[in-house]
Amino acid sequence: MEDAVEQLIEETAVPETRPQLHGLAPGLRGRVAIVTGGSRGIGRAVATELAAAGIHIGFTFLDDGGASRVEAQEVARRLREMEVRVVAEPCDVREPGDVRAFVSRVLEELGGLHIVVNNAGIGLDRALWHMSDHEWEAVVRTNLDGAFHVLRATTPHLRAQEWGKIVNIASVHGARPEFGLSNYAASKAGLIGFTRAAAVELGPRNINVNAVAPGYIRTHSLTERVPAEILDRARDRSALGRLGDPADVANVVLFLCSEAARHITGAVIPVDGGYL
């Protein structure tokens, strides 16, 4: 009897198949993505990874001088070398009118919109009892209000086509703040809450909304702003014993934008080397 059962199991068993992550790109080719803050750091890595998958890119950058424009032009040139169309424009995400104008141009020049990555963000660190109104407002308005302005401008189009992928770049500090980060931690915690609320509202229209929460990632702004001893401590606290690279975040964003992640929404995925 036992032999007969084992034979039946063998005959009816379905071989296990594993998802092939390298197969993400073909399903995304020809899509259009907006990446805010796409000229440097994590944003540049995300724009590059999406372009490598054949996705046309519209990215914003903050025009704070000639160097920022040159930097953005260089990123746009590199993306076009990947044979995708590119719209690169200065845009202050704190200003709703600027955001609406940028989204309109992307829709007109790139012919649609399917993916939105809210990456634009700043940090102005200071103990809360010394923090100025400007330092609080600038961080919260950029990191949280900016994401709201972008989604308010883009979701009508995504809802109408009943397909879309939204990824917000949050931070581990939205869950585990450190000294001097009250404005930044508040903005990123708010962004996590906003991500989950948007997932509930947009899910019925087949729109996935998720967040990635990077830990300490090697970018120019991080190494310029954060003292070396803090980075050493972060490295020591990490389970993997290292800081991350922008590409580590970009790879997860690409996954969340793919149909391999079609049943994931309202999630916050840490990319922190085990820091939390």
Catalytic residues: 184
Rounded-to-integer distance, Cα 167 and Cα 158, Å: 13
What's the N-to-C CA distance of the chain in angstroms? 52
Taking a C-beta distance cutoff of 8 angstroms, is the pair 201, 230 a contact? no
Length, in residues, of the chain: 276
- Among candidates 217, 258, 274, which has minimal Cα distance to 54? 258
Pairing verdict, β 115-118 and 268-271: unpaired
Return the structure tokens found at 219: 């970018």
| Cα 28 from chain centroid (whole Å) | 16
Instruction: Give φ, ψ of 124 to 5 degrees.
Output: -130, 90
Taking a C-beta distance cutoff of 8 angstroms, is the pair 271, 253 a contact? no
Rounded-to-integer distance, Cα 62 and Cα 98, Å: 11
Instruction: Give φ, ψ of 130 to 5 degrees.
Output: -110, -5
Sign of the Cα pseudo-torsion (58, 61, 66, 67, in order): negative
For 249, residues 6+ apart whose C-beta sits below 8 A from its C-beta are 42, 45, 46, 169, 212, 214, 217, 271
Long-range contacts of 69-72 (CB under 8 A, 24+ apart): 71/39, 71/40, 72/39
